[in-house]
Amino acid sequence: MARFFLFWYKTHMYAFVADVHIRPGFVQDEDDFLLWLEAMLSRADAVFILGDLFDYWYTGMERDHQGMMNALSSPKVYLFPGNRDFLLGNHPSARINVFSEEQVQRIYGEDVLICHGHTLTVRDPGFKILHCFGWPVIAFLDRVLPEKVKQAISRFLVRSSAQVRAPSVSIQLDTASRRGVDRVVCGHLHRGIMKDGLIVLPSFLDEGAWLEWDEYGPVFCKGTIST
- What pLDDT, on the 0 to 100 scale, is given for residue 110? 96
Digit-coded pLDDT (tens) for 93-118:
668 889 999 999 999 999 999 999 99
Query: Using alpha carbons only, how large is the chain's radius of gyration in Å?
Result: 17
- Report pLDDT digits (tens) over 149-201: 998 888 887 776 654 445 568 999 999 999 999 999 999 999 999 999 999 99
Phi-psi group of 176: left, alpha or beta (phi > 0 → left; psi -120 to 50 → alpha; rest → beta): alpha
Mean pLDDT of 30-48: 95
pLDDT, one tens digit per residue, over 202-216 is 999 999 999 999 999
For the chain, the DSSP string reads -EE------TT--EEEE----BPTT-HHHHHHHHHHHHHHHTT-SEEEEES-SBSS--TTGGGG-HHHHHHHTSTTEEEE--SSSGGGGG---TTS-B--SEEEEEETTEEEEEE-STTT-BS-HHHHHIIIIIHHHHHHHHHHS-HHHHHHHHHHHHHHHHHHS-TT-B--TTHHHHHTSSEEEE-SSSS-EE-SSEEEPPPHHHH-EEEEEETTEEEEEESPPP-
Side chain identity at residue 165, one-letter code? R
The three-point CA angle 109-37-157 to 5° equals 95
For the question of whether the overall pTM of this predicted structure is more than 0.85, the answer is: yes
Q: State residue 126's pLDDT score.
A: 80
> What's the mean pLDDT in 114-137?
90
Helices 135-144 and 147-164: crossing angle, nearest 10°?
Answer: 160
Average pLDDT over residues 39-50: 96
* Position with higher pLDDT, 24 vs 159: 24
Q: Which CATH number, 3.40.462.20, 3.20.20.10, 3.60.21.10, 3.30.1300.10, labels domain 12-122+168-222? A: 3.60.21.10
Q: Residue 52: what are its φ and ψ, rounded to 5°?
A: 55, 40
The confidence score (pLDDT) of residue 155 equals: 83
Q: For residues 13 and 123, what is the distance between their CA atoms, to the nearest angstrom?
A: 35
Which whole number is the average pLDDT over 127-132?
Answer: 87
CB burial string 33-49: b at 16+ within 10 A, e below = beebbeebbeebbbbbb
Pick the more confident residue, 187 or 92. Answer: 187
Range in 131-135, 147-151, 220-224 the model is least confident about: 220-224
pLDDT for the residue 9: 44
Q: Where are the domains of the chain?
A: 12-122+168-222
State the pLDDT at residue 23. 86
Distance, CA of 188 to chain centre = 8
pLDDT for the residue numbered 223: 78
pLDDT of residue 164: 45
Residue 92 has what pLDDT? Answer: 66
pLDDT score, position 161 = 63
Distance CA(189)–CA(116), nearest Å, equals: 9
* Per-chain mean pLDDT for the chain: 88
